[in-house]
Every structure is written in C-alpha cells, then in structure tokens.
C-alpha cells in the first residue's frame, strides 16, 4: 500500500546546537531530510540504493521557526507528501515537542538522471518509486 | 554610512559536499548566515559581541536552488537587506559562480532579548545596531 | 549500579557523507560523542542538565579508521570507560558493522567549572556524577 | 619547488559553535582538512581534480585541545608534512590565536585507487603529486 507520511522521533544532539544555546536553524533542514529518507525506507525503498542513475535534488526548501529546540530535547518530525507529479514531489514537515509546535518545513524535490553527455535532466519517477507513494488525504482535503 | 549589502567570496570545502557529489542543500543556509555576519562586521559591529541580551533568531529561511555547487568551486554570496522594521529585518542572498546563478535565499530575523523571567521577547533593534543598516536601493526600487 | 559502557545503534544519514561517497571522517567524532551522551542518559543523568557550572571539555580525541561507512549503513558504536580519575575520564569507542570493525576512537574529557573571575578550571567530578560510572572490567583486565 | 607547509587564516563561523559557547571539537578536524587542501592548492594541484581513480582516505586523525575557540575568533592553522612515504603522508597542524596555542592535530592519509573489482587498495602517489611535496625541514630536524 502506498505511503503518504511518516513520523520520525528524534533527539537533539550536542553538535547540532550553537552558542545561542539552541539548535542551529540549518539543522532543521537536515532533520526534515532524515524524516524524508525514513519515509522512503518505510515504503520499502532505500534512497541509497535507488540506482546510480536517479537523483533527487532539491528545487526549494523553506522553514518557518516557531519555537527553539535545545540539547537533548525529543521531538517528532512528521513529514507528509502534499503533491506528487510526474517528475517532482512536495513535502510538508511539522516538528512538534509534546503539544508545542516547533517549526514547519517545506521541500520540493525533482527526479533527475544523467543523460549521455553527463548533464542532469528532470525525468519521470521510475514506476517502482512512484507506485510506493501517494499524496496524503489531509493534503487533498486542504487543496 | 549605513550599509545595505555585502558580497562574500567563498570556496566550497570538502566536508560541505555529500555523496551525490555536490554541496548538501542545508549548507546554503550556513553560507547565507556567513554572508550576513560578514555584512555586520563590515558595518563595524560583531554579531558575537552584540551584547548578551540581544539575540537574532530566525523566523523563516528559504532557498531556491538553480544549479549545484561542487567541491572547490568558488562562488559569491551577495546578501542585501530588503526590509528593515523596528524589530525585524529581511535579507535576500543570491549565489553566483561566474555568470551562473546558483541559488537565491531569503531569511527573516527578529531582534529579541530575555526578560526577567527568562522568556525571549521581540524588542526593537538597539539604536547602535539600527543606525548601521539600511534597505538596499534595489529593494526599494522593486517595492 | 554504576555503568561502564553503552552500545549505540546508529544509521548513517545522507548529510553525513561526502563526495567521496563515504561518511566524512570528522563525523566519527560526533558519533562517538552521541554514544557518550547516550551512556550518560542510561546512567540516569542528562549531560544537558548537569548544572550550569560543570563542563566537560575534551582534552584529546583520536580515531583509527579501518573501513568506510556509507549512506544508510547501520553500525554499532560501543563506548567504554577505560579510565576514571578525580577530574578526568577516558573512553574507547569501537564502531562495528555486522562482523566488520569500522573504526576505533579514543577521547579524554576533563571536568571543569568557571571560577569567580570567569576562568574555566579543572575540578573533581561532583559525587552525583562520579558515583554513576565505573571503569569497564575489560579495561581493567587490559591494564 | 615542492611545498612542505601552509598557514591558513580562518575565522570561526556561528554554525561551528555549540551550546557550551565554543567551537565543537569535531570541527577542528574540518579546519585541519581545509588547511591540508589549501596546501594542495598552493602546490598547484586541486584535490578535487586529482583524478577519479585516486583517493586520499584518512587512516588516523587526532587532536590535543589546549584552549577553546569562540565565535568570530580569528586563528591560524599551520599544517606541515612530517612524513612522506610511497603510499602515505602524515601532517601535523598547529592552531594559534595571536600568541596562544589553541590545539595540535595529526592526520595520516593513504593514497588509494579502485581496482577492477571496485575494491580500494593502497597505491603509490602518482609522480605528479609526489613531486609537489616534501617533508618540512623542521620535522626532519625533530626526527
């Protein structure tokens, strides 16, 4: 059955904080990507072994920061597929710590492969990838 | 004279790349912050010594990625102030490598200080900070 | 009962790899610290809440690298206390992936606190910390 | 003329600090590698373009930490070749901030290439690399 979301529980590591005493804002993008890859693993496909000729570069990425995270905080990163097209997909990822909303991220990735002259070009997701994912019902309701 | 922009020349370090052979997308946010801090230093004020009681957390940050960067690439990160309000400022940061446009970033920061019960609250920029910066003419023309 | 070791199971994240296609060697030191902090949590004490006036800076840290780790590899980081003195402790941390030995790390940390003029000085571990740890029997046998 | 050392001036970036208010100890290894790559560029050879079939994995790496570095500190990382053999080289890298000695690092790298079955094996440095470097006179005097 195709998957549309995944919730990753994560603890803040010391090396992810900065001298303001909170998680550096750039690390939220890493957490979001970790949730994305956990979703792919849950769907039965490793991003690592997706084949040498398919890449998933980011087209855009953004975060709105609501509250800080500190060293050893545990939080949930819930990532959902909000759009799935022939050659690209979009995710929304909400971080929460208990009842508190911490941050909201968005990322768009495109499926590419290298053509014969070594240039990356957008291409349709291979069927074995596309068939494993679907847009979350929530996203459809919102649309 | 107040400053409104700064261009940082930067070379890609090996530890900033990932196994796709390009700079990991999260590092663009670090490069943008480096350009921001270089702008502050050029304005005669170190972000480090801005006083224990003023912080500059990020409210939102975003990047559009146009082309990848690879190990040892040299690029320019030109950051401009596009909005300056009592308690917040917004930057746009364009990365270029020679004639190629690499990426466009946006970040909004808010000025905060800790009140007596230890809670961070938005506050006006101190005059010694506010007086050193102004919105770029380009941004005003665009508005 | 005092603890002397901990084994952390960890998966390699994409942002931890470099363009040689393997985990960047600097990240091994982060993994080792993650195992150390997991050991402290298992001993019932959060490194984060150890009190504002006790710090644990590193005096030295080293790794011998035997085999590379790649994206999505799962490995174990087994950290053991090999020496515990009044003001310092030493760990050895061995990474394995299945039967393969990946790397061996060593780190020495010292207990410090800030005195009245703000200078960090070595000090004995507080009893509440010291009582929770002991040197591993294996290390004693090796000595 | 073969090179034996290089001094990199570097400023501490915000994202390199941790919530203890100092540079995270793992970043010293990144600084040392930046100095190593700057030495290679000064010798007229980019590590990036050293050819697809030569790699320089680390065999071991270590640091002794003498004093902390803080955000925006400027320091020098002076790297010297202390041993150069057919298939490996060793560096020592000393960090100083003004008159203060900050840290001393050591790293051993080995030259490898992939053989036909995809396994990495140690191999002699290609002559075009070996001819550009030599052991520092200081190291020879110490030996």
The predicted pLDDT at position B138 comes to 80
State whether residue B29 sits within 8 Å of chain A by CB: yes
The predicted pLDDT at position B46 comes to 77
State whether residue C62 sits within 8 Å of chain D by CB: yes
CA atoms of A97 and C110, how far apart (whole Å): 32
pLDDT, mean of residues B91-99? 98
pLDDT at C129 over 80: yes
- Would the CB atoms of A61 and B63 count as touching at under 8 Å? yes
Beta strands in chain A (DSSP E): 5-11, 58-65, 74-84, 88-97, 100-110, 112-114, 120-122
* Whole-Å CA distances, C84 to A17, B138, C90, C140, D21: 27, 61, 7, 11, 26
pLDDT at B114 over 90: no
ipTM over 0.90 threshold: yes
Considering only CB atoms, which chain D residues are within 8 Å of A70? 19
Span A29-79, pLDDT tens digits: 999 999 999 999 999 987 766 555 788 999 999 999 999 999 999 999 999
Q: How close A136 gets to chain D, by Cα (Å)?
A: 34
Considering only CB atoms, which chain D residues are within 8 Å of A26? 15
State whether residue B72 sits within 8 Å of chain D by CB: yes
Element (H, E) at B58: strand B58-65
**pTM score of the predicted model:** 0.95
The predicted pLDDT at position D115 comes to 82
The predicted pLDDT at position A48 comes to 67
pLDDT, mean of residues C5-30? 97
pLDDT at A89 over 70: yes
The predicted pLDDT at position D1 comes to 86
Q: Give me the residue from D25, D55, D57 closest to C29, CB to CB.
A: D25
State whether residue D53 sits within 8 Å of chain B by CB: no
Share of chain B above pLDDT 70, in %: 94
Beta bridge partners of residue D107, listed in sequence order: D61, D91
pLDDT, mean of residues C60-88? 97
Q: How close A14 gets to chain C, by Cα (Å)?
A: 8
Q: How close C142 gets to chain A, by Cα (Å)?
A: 31
- Would the CB atoms of A19 and D24 count as touching at under 8 Å? no
Q: How close A85 gets to chain C, by Cα (Å)?
A: 24
pLDDT, mean of residues A120-142? 88
pLDDT, mean of residues D50-57? 75
Q: Which pLDDT band, with edges at 50, 70 and 90, does B64 fall under?
A: very high
pLDDT at B58 over 80: yes
Q: How close A65 gets to chain B, by Cα (Å)?
A: 5
**What are the tokens at A112?**
């590419």
Q: Give me the residue from D15, D37, D70 closest to B14, CB to CB.
A: D37
Span D65-91, pLDDT tens digits: 999 999 999 999 999 999 999 999 999
State whether residue D136 sits within 8 Å of chain A by CB: no
Considering only CB atoms, which chain B residues are within 8 Å of C22? 19
The predicted pLDDT at position D52 comes to 55
Q: Find which of C16, C18, C72 to mutate to test the B interface (most B CBs within 10 Å of its CB).
A: C18
pLDDT, mean of residues C93-118? 94
The predicted pLDDT at position B49 comes to 65
Considering only CB atoms, which chain A residues are within 8 Å of C49? 72
| 3-state SS, residue C13 | coil
Sheet containing strand B74-84, edge to edge, reads A5-11, A74-84, A88-97, A100-110, A58-65, B58-65, B100-110, B88-97, B74-84, B5-11
Contacting subunits of C (3+ beta carbon pairs below 8 A):
A, B, D
Q: How close A110 gets to chain B, by Cα (Å)?
A: 11
State whether residue A24 sits within 8 Å of chain D by CB: yes
By CA distance, what is D25's nearest residue in A?
Answer: A15
CA atoms of C3 and C81, how far apart (whole Å): 9
pLDDT at C49 over 70: no
Element (H, E) at C82: strand C74-84
The predicted pLDDT at position C1 comes to 86
């Amino acid at each position: 059955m195709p998957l549309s979301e995944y919730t990753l529980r994560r603890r803040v590591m010391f090396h992810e904080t900065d001298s303001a005493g909170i998680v550096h804002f750039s690390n939220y993008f890493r957490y979001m990507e970790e949730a994305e890859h956990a979703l792919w693993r849950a769907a039965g496909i490793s991003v690592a072994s997706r084949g040498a000729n398919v890449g998933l570069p980011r087209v855009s990425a953004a975060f709105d920061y609501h509250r800080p995270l500190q060293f050893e905080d545990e939080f949930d990163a819930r990532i959902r597929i909000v759009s799935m097209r022939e050659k690209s997909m979009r995710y929304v990822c909400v971080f929460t710590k208990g009842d508190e909303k911490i941050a909201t991220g968005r990322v768009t990735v495109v499926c590419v492969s290298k053509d014969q002259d070594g240039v990356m070009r957008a291409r349709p997701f291979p069927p074995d990838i596309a068939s494993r994912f679907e847009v979350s019902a929530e996203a459809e309701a919102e649309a």
